[in-house]
Structure 1
């Protein structure tokens, strides 16, 4: 399975959007047709200038006679919270949690829409097989963090939970090893139980 590390690895490239002039009823119909809860609003140059959501529409349903005059430009929330394709999955998840958002528009360096990432997309990382997670952690620990042959580290992964035990040449390395293992995509939690090496 491909290592899922950035938004680019999980985002949806085909995106439905509206422009500032899209009418209220057309927005409702687009949301219904594509079964989404929000739409990016684009400028003439393709930049994301806002987002219009079901909540935005519901706040403006009191005056139904005037709904035909209301456009996405009137309704949208701005500025839009966006993310770039090279943002980490964890960073995108923090943005969503902070703003209580379900989806984020993905933009290029000029702010143009290139995709969208949802909560469900971000959760794909946790479908990674345990064996792949364990292999990457072993390689990270034994070949990058600890001098060859100076430690005996056992790695077991079950349902994304990583169990680390064995002995380390320096007790201060435990925190380094645990923090490094947390960076591996698919890790849900880490349980570490290291001992000091037995003197020769």
Structure 2
């Protein structure tokens, strides 16, 4: 039910090595229209990530010490940077000296939801995807994550019917109907027990691309206790 990183990630990705110069690294970011690029060693292992923010430390350092009266770009001022970190990276001339390490990476078999949480936790827009030996396989971005919520209504309805309703071995869900509009799933019809209806709704909520589940199910037997108080 949960879409994996491998289902949405970009496999053909740009990367640099530790000896790539500041200028060449910046040109890779610009040429590919990305905000960060993985740094790999000679065997393809991801050893770090160079982002726009890492490169801008150098610009910010120069502005502070050499450009009297110079104001750096707005995005530099809004982001800010720790002085110590800026000092260290401002003198960097290669990707290895500029990169953030260790890299925050993800495996291809990780769920897209988990990858999104990792991005949010670390405040990054892209994650290198690596194999079990930390070799680069691809990249997943916030844009890739959004693909999950761009699934067609028919595709969502098919998964709910095939994987949830027909796969509900603990109960007969043949009396349940499903419809989907704009990512909102409506379950109607009836189940044998109230608990069965609750389980079906919870499972439908976990399907990738589902924004909301509208519960219009009825049941024959009330097998759930009323909340205390």
Q: Which moved more, 1:148-157 or 1:187-196?
A: 148-157
Structure 1 spans left out of the alignment, 5+ residues = none
Q: 1:94 to 1:67 in 2, by over 3 A?
A: closer
Could you tell me the TM-score, scaled by structure 2's length? 0.77
- The residue number in structure 2 matching 1:26 is 24
Q: Once the two structures are superposed, what CA deviation does each residue of 1:53-103 show, in whole Å capped at 9, x if it has no partner? A: 011111122248997852111111111111111111111111112112111
User: How far, CA to CA, are the matches of 2:14 and 2:188 in structure 1?
Assistant: 48
Structure 2 spans left out of the alignment, 5+ residues = 67-88, 222-229
- The residue number in structure 1 matching 2:127 is 104
1:171 touches 1:196 (CA, 8 Å); kept in 2?
yes
- The residue number in structure 2 matching 1:8 is 6
1:23 touches 1:70 (CA, 8 Å); kept in 2?
yes
**1:139 corresponds to 2:162:** yes
**1:166 corresponds to 2:189:** yes
Q: Which moved more, 1:170-179 or 1:61-70?
A: 61-70
Give the Å deviation of 1:131. 1.5
- The residue number in structure 2 matching 1:57 is 55
User: How far, CA to CA, are the matches of 1:88 and 1:177 in structure 2?
Assistant: 21
Of structures 1 and 2, the larger Rg is shown by 2
- The residue number in structure 1 matching 2:74 is none
**1:45 corresponds to 2:68:** no
The correspondence for 2:199, drawn from 159, 170, 176, is: 176
Give the Å deviation of 1:196. 2.2
SS at match of 1:169: strand
Q: 1:141 to 1:108 in 2, by over 3 A?
A: closer
User: How far, CA to CA, are the matches of 1:135 and 1:149 in structure 2?
Assistant: 18
Could you tell me the TM-score, scaled by structure 1's length? 0.87
Give the Å deviation of 1:149. 4.8
1:138 touches 1:155 (CA, 8 Å); kept in 2?
yes
SS at match of 2:102: coil
The correspondence for 2:139, drawn from 116, 131, 138, is: 116
- The residue number in structure 1 matching 2:225 is none
Give the Å deviation of 1:42. 0.9
The alignment covers a number of residue pairs equal to 197
User: How far, CA to CA, are the matches of 2:164 and 2:132 in structure 1?
Assistant: 35
User: How far, CA to CA, are the matches of 2:212 and 2:92 in structure 1?
Assistant: 51
